[in-house]
Amino acid sequence: MTAGNNGADTPENDDPFAHLYRSEGGEGGAGSGAGAARQPGVPRTSYNQVRTVGQRQYGNQQGPQAYGRQNAHYAAPETLPGGGDRPRQAPAPEPRRGRNGLLIGAVAVVAVVCIGIGAAMLTNNTNNTSDNAGDKPGPTAADTVRPSEKPSQDKPTPGKLPKDDAGALRLDGGAVTAKDIPGARTASGSYVTSLNKPGASATWTLDVEAAGQYKFWVGYGVPGKDANLTLNVNGQALTRPISLSNFAHAPEGAWDKGWTKSWSYVQLNKGTNTLKLSCENGNQCDVNLDQVWLARP
């Protein structure tokens, strides 16, 4: 092979772009295929099937005019009724009813709870105000008695106080029990009598849990007139006798109408004490005794 001759049969066969403007099966080549044997003096054709520009098919298009043709099923928006007058809008999304419903329910529950708490607090404050209205300030924690402090000895501590029938007392100086006069407040109806002579007495021995001042009560009966007796506390006579007046306003001589009661302050010690009622000089001793008892002032 020499320069200028690259193996081409003729100058025309040396053109690499000849297949673009030559028709298939050119002169001497009609009906020849890609695998046909080359003949001397016949121009070389393309190994591919050559088509005129614009004749290639794309997809389902048919023929050279199918390219760029609109789909028969396609319709432009402006061809629809009213389509050319209004712009197309995307449909509004539907509200999320489930989530919104749950949120509204939760807010409602919280509101109800808050209202209930507020009402309860308001009612409680109102009740406290009404309960405390008019009350005087009470003792604070600092005012209470500490465990190490001893209780005051001036006043007795709460507890059951003794009470006895007069017939259970120790009788001296001629004093005796009787049941002749009705109205005595004892279970048996008995009472102490014959105290109308000097030296006659009735002594009560009793115990108290705390030292302090007490009221000494005496149940008695008089015949429509006042009486009195000397009161002796733990061996010491009081300067003033205990008054046993006709508080029942019984007529004179009516012993059964004269039952009543009277009292006097006494200072007792913790533990055992003695209280003695006696007829002494200067006393008016026409009196019968039915009961004795202690009370707090």
Strands (E), 162-279: 163-165, 170-172, 176-178, 191-193, 201-208, 212-221, 227-233, 236-237, 242-244, 259-268, 271-278
The band of 124, judged by pLDDT with boundaries at 50, 70 and 90, is low
How many Å apart are CA 203 and CA 230, to the nearest integer? Answer: 12
Whole-number pLDDT of residue 102? 72
Q: What confidence tens digit (pLDDT) does each residue in 43-66 have?
A: 555 445 555 555 555 554 454 444
**The tokens 């009292």 sit on which residue?**
263
H or E element in which residue 109 lies: helix 97-132
| 129-155 residue pLDDT tens | 555 544 444 444 333 344 444 444 555
State which amino acid sits at residue 129.
T
Secondary structure (3-state) at 110: helix
Render pLDDT for 238-280 as a digit per residue (tens, 0 to 9): 999 999 999 999 999 999 999 999 999 999 999 999 999 999 9
Contact 192, 202 (CB under 8 A): yes
Least confident range from 105-114, 162-171, 223-232: namely 105-114
Q: Which residues of 142-177 are buried (b: 16+ CB within 10 A; e: fewer)?
A: eeeeeeeeeeeeeebeeeebeeebbbebebeeebeb
Structure tokens, 74: 């396609």
**Strand pairing class (163-165; 170-172):** unpaired
Instruction: Among 24-38, 164-178, 198-212, 268-282, name the one with the lowest average pLDDT.
Output: 24-38
> What residue ranges define each of the domains in the chain, with the CATH number in brackets?
1-64 (no CATH), 163-295 (2.60.120.260)
Q: Which of 22-36, 74-88, 184-198 has the largest mean confidence? A: 184-198
Tokens 């001042």 sit on residue = 213
One-letter amino acid for residue 37 of the chain:
A
Range among 19-28, 54-63, 117-126, 167-176 rated most confident: 167-176
Whether residue 96 is predicted with pLDDT greater than 90 in this model: the reply is no
Q: What is the SS3 assignment for 100?
A: helix
CA–CA dist 140, 128 (Å, integer): 18
Cα distance between the two ends of the chain: 157
pTM for the whole structure:
0.49
Is 218:292 a contact under the CB 8 Å cutoff? yes
Return the closest-CA partner of residue 286 out of 216, 200, 203. Answer: 200
- 193 pLDDT band, cuts 50/70/90, is very high
Distance CA 193, CA 241 (A): 18
How high is the mean pLDDT of the chain? 75
Helix (H, G, I), strand (E, B) or coil at 293: strand
Tokens read off for 227: 């009486």
Side-chain-facing half-sphere of 262: CA atoms under 13 Å: 22
